[in-house]
Amino acid sequence: MKLKRVHSVLIAAALTCSMVVMPVSAAPTLEDLQNEQEELESQKEDAQGQLSSLQSELEALVQKIDDLEVQLIEKGEEIAQAEKDLEAAEKKRQEQYDAMKLRIKYMYEAGSGTATMEKVMESGDISSMLTQAEYSKQVHEYDRDQLQEYADTVAEIEALQDTLEEEMENLQSLEAEYEDQQEELDATIASKQDEISNLDGMIQEAAQKVAAEKERQEEAERQRRLEEQRRQQAAQQNNNGGGSNNNGGSGGGSSSNSGSSAPSYNVSTGNTVVDRAYSQLGKPYVWGAVGPNSFDCSGFVGYCLTGRYKRMWTSGSYAGWPSVSNPQPGDVCVRSGHCGIYIGGGQMIHAPSKGDVVKIAPVQSSMWYVRYPG
């Protein structure tokens, strides 16, 4: 019986020891909440620095793409000119060929060098005719020189055209490589923007906690002062013999929180750039147009910023403008090959593409913001 009792005591002791009392987490202090907010803001600052670096890389790449587009246009013009030169040479060749046939026919009908002339006539093309003509004393030296000059010209133009087409292929390959890099940078920037957006939400939540904790402490201090005032009044009444004194009422201050929201923009905003953008809604998109009846994207942005129906910049020009992380209405939304005017609330007005019109649309995730330096 004694052994059983000892055994029971040991079991009870073991169970008591195994019941670990979990400490109750203390509510975070105001200092803790402020430190958390500062840490989140530091993380956001680092992320914005990384985003700025990525956008600089993208801007440099966009500039390369713009420069490459200029080279492609110039190379295309050179190829077109080479084709025109070749066409002109072919026309001249036909004229020489027809004239020479007439002269050979005349000599043939005159009976001189009959066998040779038949061989020349039956050659069928300029190359064969040139070869045969070298062996015919009946063909003038002038004809042989002209045919040789034509052959040399055609060979030179064809060689030039081949070179230009090869250079064009190389430029197009480089352009595709740049566009792949741009797509990768766009994805990275979008991811970093999402990270910053999440941090913004966390910072806002932390700021609300800090504000709530400050308000709680202020209310607790106010209540403490009221309670102290009541005690002092009660003590004064006791010292005065318990007489009633109704002058000890407490006055509680009321606090009010005023919030602010982003302004709602309409066709008369007081913002000149935004007002101009609204005034062009519904105008059709036409490539290269700068108004007043139609626009392309950069022509539209140029008009909104300056009020002039004149091409001021291309979409690639904005890469050198100051980048902003907290865009305001009237700033420019930019990505490679496109731009628009930011009007607030994540919205922009832009001239989208062929077949569409100037309209309001959400800012695209791949866009960043720049400010007109003028």
> For residue range 92-145, what is the model confidence (pLDDT) as tens digits?
777 777 776 776 666 656 555 445 555 555 655 555 655 555 545 445 666 667
At position 207, the amino acid (one-letter code) is: A
Digit-coded pLDDT (tens) for 263-311: 344 445 668 999 999 999 999 998 888 889 999 998 999 999 999 998 8
Residue 302 structure tokens:
């140029």
Neighbours of 115 (CB within 10 A): 8
Is 257 domain-assigned? no
pLDDT-derived band at 17 (thresholds 50, 70, 90) equals very low
Pick from 130, 134, 136: nearest CA to 118: 136
What is the value of pTM for the model shown? 0.38
The whole-number pLDDT of residue 265 equals 41
The whole-number pLDDT of residue 135 equals 47
Is 239 domain-assigned? no
Digit-coded pLDDT (tens) for 200-229: 888 888 888 888 888 888 888 888 888 888
The whole-number pLDDT of residue 186 equals 86
pLDDT-derived band at 185 (thresholds 50, 70, 90) equals confident
pLDDT-derived band at 244 (thresholds 50, 70, 90) equals very low
**Which of the pair, 74 or 304, is modelled with greater confidence?**
304
**Which of the pair, 288 or 241, is modelled with greater confidence?**
288
Is 113 domain-assigned? yes
Residues 189 and 286 in one domain: no
**51-54 long-range contacts, Cβ below 8 Å, gap at least 24?**
51/189, 51/192, 51/193, 51/196, 51/325, 52/323, 52/325, 54/185, 54/188, 54/189, 54/192
Residues 189 and 67 in one domain: yes
Ranges of H-type helices in 24-140 = 30-110, 114-121, 126-133
Is 15 domain-assigned? no
Name the strand (E) or helix (H) holding 334.
strand 332-335
d(C-alpha 117, C-alpha 334), whole Å: 72
d(C-alpha 326, C-alpha 113), whole Å: 91
Q: Which of 178, 197, 216 is the last residue of a domain?
A: 197
Share of the chain above pLDDT 90, in %: 14
Residues 71 and 192 in one domain: yes
Digit-coded pLDDT (tens) for 32-57: 888 888 888 888 888 888 888 888 88
Is 101 domain-assigned? yes
The whole-number pLDDT of residue 273 equals 92
Digit-coded pLDDT (tens) for 322-343: 889 889 999 999 888 889 999 9
Residues 59 and 190 in one domain: yes
pLDDT-derived band at 18 (thresholds 50, 70, 90) equals very low
The domain of 338 spans 272-370
Residues 181 and 76 in one domain: yes
Q: Which of 169, 197, 225 is the last residue of a domain?
A: 197
Neighbours of 193 (CB within 10 A): 20
Residues 325 and 188 in one domain: no
| CATH number for the domain that contains residue 141 | 1.10.287
The whole-number pLDDT of residue 232 equals 83
Q: Which of 163, 197, 231 is the last residue of a domain?
A: 197
Is 53 domain-assigned? yes
| CATH number for the domain that contains residue 292 | 3.90.1720.10
**Which of the pair, 170 or 118, is modelled with greater confidence?**
170
Q: How many distinct structural domains can be found in the chain?
A: 2
